[in-house]
Amino acid sequence: MPDQRSANDQSSPLPEITPELVLRAYAAGYFPMAEHADSKELFWVEPKERGILPLDGLHLSRSLIKTIRSSRFDVYVDRDFEAVINACAQTRKDTWINARIHSLYSDLFRQGKVHTVECFYEGRCVGGLYGLSIGRVFFGESMFHLMRDASKVALAHLVARLRAGGYVLLDTQFVTSHLASLGAITVPKIEYRVLLQDALQGEGDFLVWPQAERDDPRQILALLESP
């Protein structure tokens, strides 16, 4: 779920991929990316050092706890995928979200494999994230914010939801300074593959709480602050 991506780990360009192939690739430790928004090609990426955020390791600052408790944002899931992916692409100078990536993840969203966490303020989506769910793994793809702390709140709600839903692995792909400040770490590729194979066993429940209802911040903090 990086703020920037590097093509250092890329392989050969792919002429065509399908949503089904994307699912198999993630399960094998790979994910697709594009060089830039206007690129026609995609590449498979498998970083030598993989970013993960331990589900018991999210760093909650006092200010973030205060923001969550204040209910400043109304937080929902899977309400407006298009708003989230478009904002993720548009709020960065350099983005890997090209037309093909957009199409693939839109298809996967319709299949129930891709999910969003969205922060609304006065009826407007001002922050959020999206990613892919397979087994007990959530593969974070991207996040954005138009208001301070909106992406952090979305991530906190995501971690709580994953814990409640029986997930064991949150993949961030790479680790930026922003993600590191929130508790993300890197693990070697070999170690990541072991974690991944274990997490692919069983099935997490992303919709463990009703989809149409606003997340309860008290429930979120209780989960995040529990051992």
pTM for the predicted model, two decimal places: 0.91
Residue spans of the domains in the chain: they are: 48-93+111-225
Give the DSSP letter of residue 16: -
DSSP 227: -
As a whole-number percent, the residues of the chain with pLDDT over 70 amount to 93
Report pLDDT for 93: 72
Side-by-side strand order, sheet with 124-134: 74-77, 114-121, 124-134, 137-145, 169-173, 49-52, 185-188
Determine the pLDDT at residue 138: 98
Give me the chain's average pLDDT, please. 92
Query: Percent of the chain at pLDDT above 90?
Result: 83
Q: How far apart are CA 155 and CA 205, in angstroms?
A: 17
Strand ranges (DSSP E) for the chain?
A: 10-14, 31-33, 42-45, 49-52, 74-77, 114-121, 124-134, 137-145, 169-173, 185-188
Closest CA to 75 of 206, 181, 212, 172: 212
Which option is the CATH number for 48-93+111-225: 3.40.630.70, 3.40.50.150, 3.10.129.10, 3.40.50.300?
Answer: 3.40.630.70
The number of residues making up the chain comes to: 227
pLDDT-derived band of residue 81, with 50, 70 and 90 as boundaries? very high
Instruction: For the beta carbon of residue 95, count every other beta carbon within 10 angstroms.
Output: 18
pLDDT at 121: 97
pLDDT tens, residue by residue, 42-65: 999 999 999 999 999 999 999 999
Q: How confident is the model at residue 11 (pLDDT cuts 50, 70, 90)?
A: very low
Q: What is the pLDDT of residues 146-191, one digit of tens each?
A: 999 999 999 999 999 999 999 999 999 999 999 999 999 999 999 9
Q: Is 73 helix (H, G, I), strand (E, B) or coil?
A: coil
